Amino acid sequence: MAALIRGVIRLLPVEKNVFLSTRSDIIVESTRFLRGLRRKPVRVLFPDNDAGKVVKPPPPQQQQQQHPQAAEKKMVRNRPTAAGEQPDRSDAVNMRSKTLKEPYDNITKDSVDGLRYERALPGDKRLSRLVSVAQSRKFREQQGKILLEGRRLICDALEVGARPQMVFFSMADRLRELPLDKLRGATVVKVKFEDIKIWSDVVAPQGVIAIFARPDPARLSFSQRDQSLPLSLICDNVRDPGNLGTMLRCAAAAGCHEVLLTKGCVDVWEPKVLRAGMGAHFRLPVYPNLDWDEIRNHLPNSVTAHVADIRDPDDEDGTNKLSKPGDYGWVSTSPKRKTIEYEEYDSDFDSDSDSEDEGLSLPRVETKLYHENWAQSPTALVIGGETRGLSTEAVRLAEKTDGSRLFIPIVSGVDSLNSAMAASILLFEGRRQLSMFLQTAEKKRQSKAERKFS
């Protein structure tokens, strides 16, 4: 093709090496064609250990016919230096190779305070793949992975001994905010902030996302265990992520011993629950997806279980007609939970259907105002979700353990309290009563010991 173009240029009368195409009226300089034909690849870079090798292309075949101007330019480029020496082409190739090789070498040698990290190359799909999959509950349960975003959550998880697997960050300053000594076994990748912003679940991302192995509460070292009280929170079919996260936060603040979640609750490791919990997942043990037999095994033998209710205890007519689940306020009409499937939160669900209530009965449980004495021993508090309320198993547990239905009085015209708000009121009231009970018991023990030695 090059020989053909040069032959056409010689035959046609041109001025200043300009070729005129009469068909398309396009003027093209012949020098451009010659320059483009002379371009050859200089080198080929290989990844990892072969990055420093330079592969030179084979020498071009000598063309039988050379354009006069091209030959003249070639003579000018190969003109000897002032010292009479011919410049070495390999030096120029090596210099260019060194210039292009440096960015790739930085990828494998980058580190922050001794912690080595990788740079995500164009087309790296690790962030998008892990984030999109980690936000699936099915994947989290099958693969045992959770997603944590933000400095605070990641630091809280590392503090209790959670195991990180992969960390993505956008700036070195963001990475320095984390305990680097606890990230040695994880894969650390630097990505663009735009990529994190695309896959982040928050409006204003902090620029750091981590994938952790799903924590086992029995293997985590909680720092507040010595400050906990014999008070357990049982979440019965709580499906709203914001409510569940708030309950966990209140339980941690009230010094609960543990939190137990029945089957049917929203996933405790969902991003919305994590944000609402504000690190409560790593302040106390949280056991999800339990049936009522497993819940009973987690509780001590001397426990007393209480359920939250919104029914007015002074309503004698209503108290004498506790014949169906709907009479218990936050009480569900579904007697069995073993076959329940995970569902999304639906605020339009009607749990008080009269057709479902027919033929169902619940055990009778004593009603108490929330400020009366009900936490005088190891205590468990059951809070039901706002859509389906308490299950019949929760009320049976209260009956078997001589528990009570706790009532929070509200003004007329208001349907009920938010379940998370009711949980916070009852938890802190239970903490107050347990603290006073334990202090009184400690004083009695000390006085008895003093009388014994006196």
Res 43: pLDDT: 63
What would the two tokens of residue 220 be?
Answer: 């985590």
Class (C level, CATH) for 222-311+364-453: alpha beta
Res 332: pLDDT: 39
The helix/strand/coil state of 399 is helix
Res 76: pLDDT: 44
How crowded is residue 300: how many other Cβ atoms within 10 Å of its Cβ?
13
Res 69: pLDDT: 53
DSSP 8-state assignment for residue 48: G
Question: What is the C-alpha separation between 158 and 358, in angstroms, rounded?
Answer: 51
CB-based contacts of 330, cutoff 8 Å, min separation 6 = 308, 309, 310, 383, 384, 385, 386, 389, 390, 416, 419
Assess whether the region 107-217 and the region 222-311+364-453 belong to the same CATH fold.
Answer: no
Res 412: pLDDT: 85
Q: Which helix (H) or strand (E) holds 306?
A: strand 304-309
Residues (pLDDT < 70) of the chain are 1-109, 310-362, 454
For the stretch 402-411, pLDDT in tens is: 999 999 988 8
Res 91: pLDDT: 54
Domain 107-217: CATH superfamily is Ribosomal protein L30/S12 (3.30.1330.30)
Question: What is the C-alpha separation between 415 and 409, in angstroms, rounded?
Answer: 11
Res 104: pLDDT: 35
Give domain limits for the chain: 107-217, 222-311+364-453
Question: What is the C-alpha separation between 136 and 138, in angstroms, rounded?
Answer: 5
pTM comes to 0.67
